[in-house]
């Protein structure tokens, strides 16, 4: 009797839900899910899907390198953006103190992030904590301790940073902050386990208080929040680099978990060699929040950084798709749906890697003429689909399509032989020379039609028909022969009464 069922994507495949038909599916944190995971709830009768996520944060965790190279690390959310579906950006954040959101907004969101909370709403004056700037609850605490290999041999730890983490936590709790309001984020498991043990055995307060403090990785904190966040970066060496600290998505997640304040512990001399962290250090330096010394006597660091000559721009395959995004106010305004529909501006060869271009049919006929790749259209002189198609009822459309499909086998010889003899049924010129309104058919219907055309035109196979169509395949190179063979196999399988994958 439930109207709403909440579960994970994989949980939607539970046998107890097999008889349910979910017309609307909403997937939160969709950028963290793999495409197969997202497909589980979508195949249960879904008519409308809403994907919510942030491609600028961490994506799916793929342990198998071969699977990652094959594309499993790409989420369904990302694929839709690449294919031209215009995303809706929620531009107002209600979590962070405005000074905490400034850097992520400028670095990761082109400065479009707006604050839904004021400075006064996120400023706790009763908390007696030594912020370098009273109105700016953040600072980068310079730690020059050396990194070490953990006992497991597969991770890193930094004893100096762990010791300072305990001091910062203790000072927070003495200032009246509850342990449950504090979170410690570190990218390395070795450091996480060392901080937990160090606080319990070396902390100046009761052991059970330190147990309530959550210490976790960046991945575990995605989608979560705490009032105060302490970030331990660990890496501190002169030659070996900083590992996956250089991942901008990981930094974005770590910086956007806090509501009231952030403390970062790291080695600025090492981190400043990398463009992403150089921008962060310059930002904290300008705010007079880059400090060193004892916690009860913090002083502005004397380290000097040159201002970046140009803005940090990471390689982002979504940049073209996101250039046409719209904000929530525009999306929910009373405007025609056609004004909000995304479409590819140019032919994208990436489309061929995951899709059959001949099998691609949009959900609405109105978008067919504007599509930039050659969608197979069957020209009809007096077809059932007219310009005022959108005004007809759903039942009329279904009846019209069924009548049209039933007449295809009768009229195919007369209707398509002339069209194919000149240019081929799938060329753009053939479509434009006939009627401006076309009928989009399913792949099985097209295979039947092409089989009839092959016999009428004495062609060797369905694939040979496609290979002769130079207009449609002139930009695809070797893909034409590959698709030609693929259609031959599918055609033979269709005639044999089974489907081959």
Assess contact for 110 and 318: CB atoms under 8 A.
no
Q: What CATH number did the domain enclosing 248 receive?
A: 3.40.50.300
- Among 83, 103, 126, the domain boundary falls at 83
Indicate if 254 and 145 belong to the same structural domain: yes
Please indicate, yes or no, if residue 439 is contained in any of the structural domains.
yes
Please indicate, yes or no, if residue 1 is contained in any of the structural domains.
no
Indicate if 169 and 269 belong to the same structural domain: yes
Q: Please count the helices (runs of H) and the strands (runs of E) in the chain.
A: 20, 17
- Among 282, 300, 318, the domain boundary falls at 300
Bridge partners of 232? 265
Assess contact for 380 and 405: CB atoms under 8 A.
no
Domain range enclosing 135 = 95-300
Angle between helices 248-255 and 275-286 (to 10 degrees): 30
CA 313 – CA 219 distance, rounded (Å): 23
CA 426 – CA 483 distance, rounded (Å): 14
Indicate if 289 and 234 belong to the same structural domain: yes
Indicate if 105 and 202 belong to the same structural domain: yes
Q: How many CA atoms lie within 13 A of 215 on its CB side?
A: 23
Indicate if 202 and 99 belong to the same structural domain: yes
Please indicate, yes or no, if residue 322 is contained in any of the structural domains.
no
Q: Which residues of the chain have pLDDT under 50?
A: 321, 332-394, 408-440, 459-463, 465-480, 483, 487, 490-491, 493-501
Tokens of 136: 């700016």
Give per-residue pLDDT as tens, 54-112: 989 999 989 999 999 999 999 999 999 889 888 898 899 999 999 999 999 999 998 99
pLDDT for the residue numbered 153: 87
Indicate if 187 and 281 belong to the same structural domain: yes
Compute CA distances 150 → 43, 198, 225, whole Å.
45, 14, 28
CA 77 – CA 143 distance, rounded (Å): 39
- The count of other CB atoms within 10 Å of the CB of residue 434 is 18
Indicate if 44 and 166 belong to the same structural domain: no
Indicate if 69 and 215 belong to the same structural domain: no
CA 144 – CA 235 distance, rounded (Å): 10
Indicate if 381 and 279 belong to the same structural domain: no
Please indicate, yes or no, if residue 19 is contained in any of the structural domains.
yes
Give per-residue pLDDT as tens, 286-334: 999 999 999 999 999 999 888 776 666 555 555 554 555 555 555 544 4
Category of 267 on φ-ψ map: left (φ > 0), alpha (ψ -120 to 50) or beta? beta
Ranges of beta strands (E only) in 233-304 are 258-266, 290-292, 299-300
pLDDT for the residue numbered 381: 39
Please indicate, yes or no, if residue 24 is contained in any of the structural domains.
yes
Tokens of 260: 């009231």
pLDDT for the residue numbered 271: 94
Residue 331 CA to chain centroid, in angstroms?
19
Indicate if 78 and 102 belong to the same structural domain: no
Residue 426 CA to chain centroid, in angstroms?
34
Indicate if 70 and 99 belong to the same structural domain: no
pLDDT for the residue numbered 86: 87
- The count of other CB atoms within 10 Å of the CB of residue 346 is 8
Indicate if 283 and 161 belong to the same structural domain: yes
Assess contact for 84 and 346: CB atoms under 8 A.
no
- Among 273, 300, 327, the domain boundary falls at 300
Number of domains in the chain: 3
């Amino acid at each position: 009797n439930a109207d709403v069922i909440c579960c994970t994507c994989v949980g939607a495949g539970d046998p107890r839900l097999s008889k349910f038909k979910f017309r609307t599916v909403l997937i939160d944190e969709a950028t963290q899910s793999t495409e197969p995971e997202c497909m589980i709830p979508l195949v249960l009768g879904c008519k409308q899907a809403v994907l919510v996520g942030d491609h600028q944060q961490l994506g799916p965790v793929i342990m198998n390198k071969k699977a990652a190279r094959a594309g499993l690390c790409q989420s369904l959310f990302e694929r839709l953006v690449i294919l031209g579906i215009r995303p809706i950006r929620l531009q107002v954040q209600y979590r962070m103190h405005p000074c905490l959101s400034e850097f992520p907004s400028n670095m990761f969101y082109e400065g479009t992030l707006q604050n839904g909370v004021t400075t006064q709403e996120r400023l706790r004056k009763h908390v007696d904590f030594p912020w370098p700037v009273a109105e700016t609850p953040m600072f980068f605490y310079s730690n020059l301790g050396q990194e070490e290999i953990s006992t497991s041999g597969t991770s890193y730890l930094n004893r100096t940073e762990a010791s300072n983490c305990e001091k910062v936590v203790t000072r927070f709790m003495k200032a009246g902050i509850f342990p449950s309001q504090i979170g410690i984020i570190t990218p390395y498991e070795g450091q996480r386990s060392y901080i937990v043990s160090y606080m319990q055995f070396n902390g100046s307060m009761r052991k059970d208080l330190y147990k309530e403090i959550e210490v976790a990785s960046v991945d575990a904190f995605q989608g979560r929040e705490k009032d105060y966040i302490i970030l331990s970066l660990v890496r501190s060496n002169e030659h070996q680099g900083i590992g996956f600290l250089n991942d901008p998505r990981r930094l974005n997640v770590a910086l956007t978990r806090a509501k009231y304040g952030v403390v970062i512990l790291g080695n600025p001399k090492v981190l400043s060699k990398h463009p992403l962290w150089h921008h962060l250090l310059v930002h904290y330096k300008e705010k007079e929040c880059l400090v060193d010394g004892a916690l009860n006597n913090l002083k502005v660091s004397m380290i000097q950084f040159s201002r970046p000559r140009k803005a940090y721009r990471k390689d982002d395959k979504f940049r073209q798709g996101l250039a046409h995004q719209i904000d929530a106010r525009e999306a929910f305004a009373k405007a025609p749906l056609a004004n909000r529909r995304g479409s590819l501006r140019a032919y994208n060869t990436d489309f061929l890697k995951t899709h059959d271009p001949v099998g691609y049919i949009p959900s609405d006929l109105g978008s067919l003429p504007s599509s930039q790749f050659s969608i197979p259209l069957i020209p009809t002189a007096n077809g059932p689909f007219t310009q005022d198609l959108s005004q007809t009822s759903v039942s009329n459309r279904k009846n019209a399509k069924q009548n049209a499909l039933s007449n295809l086998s009768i009229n195919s010889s007369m209707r398509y032989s002339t069209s194919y003899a000149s240019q081929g049924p799938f060329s753009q010129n053939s479509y434009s020379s006939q009627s401006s309104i076309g009928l989009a058919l399913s792949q099985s219907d097209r295979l039947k039609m092409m089989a009839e055309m092959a016999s009428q035109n004495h062609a060797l196979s369905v694939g040979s028909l496609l290979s002769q169509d130079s207009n449609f395949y002139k930009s695809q190179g070797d893909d034409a022969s590959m698709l030609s063979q693929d259609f031959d196999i599918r055609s033979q399988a269709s005639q044999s009464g089974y489907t081959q994958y």
